[in-house]
Amino acid sequence: MTLQPPKSNTSATTSGCFHLKQRNVHYSTQHKYSQNMEVATTKGVLSHLSRLEVQKRSLKSQPQQPGGVKALRATVEALLTQRDQLRAEIQTHKNIKKLRVSMDKQCTNEEEETEEGMDEDSENSNLLRLMARHTQLKDLLHAHNVVGGYNVVKTRQGKGVCVSVATFYEGVYLNTYNLEIDVKPTVRISRHNVPPFIPLNNLAEQSNMQTDLRTLLDPLSQHLNAFAGRQQQFKFVKELHKSVEVMESNVLCSLLVLKFTVPREKTAVLCSLDYTDCTRSLPTRVHFESDAWYVSTNVLNWMRAATGSQ
Amino acid sequence: MTTGKMSNENTEEAAALQAQIEHLQAEVSALRRQQKDDQKDVTFHFRGQMQNAMLSLCGQRQGDEKVLSMLMEEVEELEEDLKLQTQMNGISLTGCTTKTLQSSGRKLVQQLCVSGHCSELLFQVEFQLSEVNEASGCVRTISELNVVIDAGEMQNFSSFLSGVEESRDLLLFFRTLRSFSDRCDDRRRTFQHFQEKYPAVVSLPAGCRSEVMHLSHPELPGCVLLVHWSVHVSREGGVSPKVELLTKIPERALQLFPSQAVGGAAEAFQSLLRILGAEAALEAVIMAVSLS
């Protein structure tokens, strides 16, 4: 319904004038329906106009205009989509995890192959199974790395491989040593970062690496891990105690000479540790020396126990 | 309908929509938190092709066939890689389950349970793996190591296993297991070889994987030479095969042949072993038993 203020009293349509007049009569409490129609109508029109003005102003001040509601509806739609998407992703996650659990059980032969009742169609369930298998493979490959595997990588279209030998001591993963090996035409070590005091060439010669690389890698790993163990021990000893001083050590960590200064007795004892077996991280021989004419047996016994020698 | 009434309805609808918006925003935040929690487990934090597949399943991506084939390609690559690692590492891992115990910016702690077999030796190890990002790099450590192996081999391994659990030397466990398995394979191959070559003299009553090989001349079934080939594992993880010759000869036979050759066979064999090595020494004994 549109309200049209009359242009003039006389030109107004009958209905329009009549409405106005009626309105005037309705709203204008001050004016009774009088014989002086002109006066009454003018006053009514004016007050009506002012009334319209007030309504317009009050509509503007309200935040929810028709445009505003549309925007809100759009926001609701967007949020609904977002929520449904998240719900779907979380449910898919759950389904994959469930599939994975049953796949793990199958692998350890705990369960017969059973079809988990999935609500998805067969194409979706194929994708889900594939995704579960993907997570399983990634975990298994991670496990191979964590348990000290050689991390073999094929290079140069199968003409070479890269391997890494992991070292470990007392619960800590230490340095990794890498080798680049040519596979064709013969098996040959091309590059590596194994320290020179590790007899790599000897090990290669003594191995069967042409047919089985592990006959080289396993002994190499033994040497490197034993070295890493000795190296860590030497490092700890240096930081040990002020009464223990390192007099001599070598790069291979196969020889260590320590000076113990026995606090109460003010005597010095030299302790030499020989690690002649390079495949072990324990000493093969321990030797004590002292200038003092008397070193109490308590101290000697303690030192024997501490270095693990008989 | 007057403008006033219309504005009232708008207000009502707007208020209702506003309330719905707030409710949905709360729901979405809660779902996002749950998803973040789900993804703390590194295994289930999807990237690349897996992420594409996830989005395709949840209706966001088009082209389902392409997603399936691309993921299939990636899975095949992973299968190939696993075969390669299995062959090179000499162990077959059949299961690895991970549980993320702690996952913050710098530190990740997982509980892993790895099971598999090395040749025919079954094992299961459980441990905690921590990865901490420090200035010097990423430091990985193992704690709470628990090792279980096939019950049959337990007595051979018991002191070694307790040592390994104490020192948390996961890698030593696998190196030793592989070494042990290789030496057992040497034994099995040798026993099988001799049984095939000298079927009349050699028998393996407990199978080719057993520690014992019987040698006897078919015409003297009561006189048996036993080859006991054991593989010993030291506490430090040193694997050493030990071959011994034992004689099971009835008293009466020994009385008939009082010479040292039969009685001192065990010691003689040890010398032979030192000079010729296991296979050649055994062959020599077999030849002697077959009296050829």
> Which one of B1, B28, B55, B57 makes the best mutation probe of the A interface by having the most chain A beta carbons within 10 Å?
B57
Which residues in A lie closer than 8 A to residue B81 (C-beta atoms)?
137, 141
Tens of pLDDT along A3-43? 445 444 444 444 333 333 444 444 444 444 444 555 555 56
Please give the radius of gyration of chain A, using alpha carbons only, rounded to the nearest integer. Answer: 46
DSSP-based three-state secondary structure for B292: coil
| DSSP bridge partners of A62 | none
Q: How far is CA A240 from the centre of its chain?
A: 36
A67–chain B Cβ distance below 8 A for any pair:
no
pLDDT at A298: 65
> Which one of B58, B94, B185 makes the best mutation probe of the A interface by having the most chain A beta carbons within 10 Å?
B58
pLDDT at A306: 62
Q: Do A218 and B179 touch (CB under 8 A)?
A: yes
List the pLDDT tens digit at each of the 292 positions of chain B: 455 555 677 788 888 888 999 999 999 999 999 998 888 888 888 888 898 888 888 876 666 678 888 999 999 999 999 999 999 999 999 999 999 998 888 899 999 999 999 988 899 999 999 999 988 888 999 999 999 998 777 777 889 999 999 999 999 999 999 999 999 999 999 999 999 999 988 989 888 888 899 988 888 778 888 899 999 999 888 899 999 988 887 777 767 766 666 557 788 888 888 888 888 888 888 888 887 5
Length of chain B: 292
Find the distance separating the first CA and the last CA of chain B, reported in whole Å. 123
Q: Do A152 and B79 touch (CB under 8 A)?
A: no
pLDDT at B2: 52
Tens of pLDDT along A195-234? 999 999 999 999 999 999 999 999 999 999 999 999 998 8
**Of the listed ranges A95-109, A255-269, A290-304, B83-97, the one predicted with least confidence:** A290-304
Which residues in A lie closer than 8 A to residue B85 (C-beta atoms)?
141, 144, 149-152
pLDDT above 90 for A160: yes
A136 and A142 Cβ atoms separated by less than 8 Å = no
For chains A and B, count residue pairs whose Cβ atoms are closer than 8 Å: 208
Q: How confident is the model at residue A292 (pLDDT cuts 50, 70, 90)?
A: low
b/e per residue B4-41 (b: at least 16 CB within 10 A): eeebeebeeebeebeebbeebeebbeebeeeeeeeeeb
ipTM of the complex: 0.86
Q: Do B174 and A127 touch (CB under 8 A)?
A: no
Task: State the sign of the Cα–Cα–Cα–Cα dihedral A117, A120, A121, A123.
Answer: negative
Q: How confident is the model at residue A278 (pLDDT cuts 50, 70, 90)?
A: confident
Chain A residue closest in CA terms to B145: A171
A163–chain B Cβ distance below 8 A for any pair:
yes
Between the alpha carbon of residue A216 and those of residues A183, B4, B69, B91, the distances in Å are 14, 92, 40, 17
Task: State the sign of the Cα–Cα–Cα–Cα dihedral A154, A157, A160, A162.
Answer: negative
pLDDT at A71: 87
Chain B residue closest in CA terms to A162: B88
Chain B residue closest in CA terms to A104: B95
Distance from CA of B147 to the nearest CA of A (A): 12
Which residues in A lie closer than 8 A to residue B100 (C-beta atoms)?
none
b/e per residue A146-159 (b: at least 16 CB within 10 A): bbbbbbbeeeeeee
Of B7, B20, B94, the CB nearest to A59: B7
Q: Do A140 and B82 touch (CB under 8 A)?
A: yes
Of B32, B43, B174, the CB nearest to A147: B174
Find, among A127, A134, A124, the residue nearest to A103 by Cα.
A134
Q: What percent of chain A has pLDDT over 70?
A: 71
> Which one of A59, A60, A146 makes the best mutation probe of the B interface by having the most chain B beta carbons within 10 Å?
A146
Q: Do A108 and B10 touch (CB under 8 A)?
A: no
As a whole number, the mean pLDDT across chain A is 78
Residues A290 and A195: their CA atoms lie apart, in Å, by: 35
Segment A99-117 mean pLDDT: 70
Q: Which residue has the tokens 């090990």?
A: A203
Q: Do A89 and B35 touch (CB under 8 A)?
A: yes
Distance from CA of A106 to the nearest CA of B (A): 10
H or E stretch at B208: none
Chain A residue closest in CA terms to B83: A141
Residues B283 and B198: their CA atoms lie apart, in Å, by: 10
Chain B residue closest in CA terms to A83: B28
Distance from CA of A156 to the nearest CA of B (A): 16
Distance from CA of B106 to the nearest CA of A (A): 17
DSSP-based three-state secondary structure for B14: helix
A17 and A5 Cβ atoms separated by less than 8 Å = no
pLDDT above 50 for A140: yes
| DSSP bridge partners of A188 | A182
Q: Do A107 and B94 touch (CB under 8 A)?
A: yes
A238–chain B Cβ distance below 8 A for any pair:
no
pLDDT at B258: 61
pLDDT at A210: 93
A69–chain B Cβ distance below 8 A for any pair:
yes
Tens of pLDDT along A60-81? 555 545 568 888 889 999 999 9
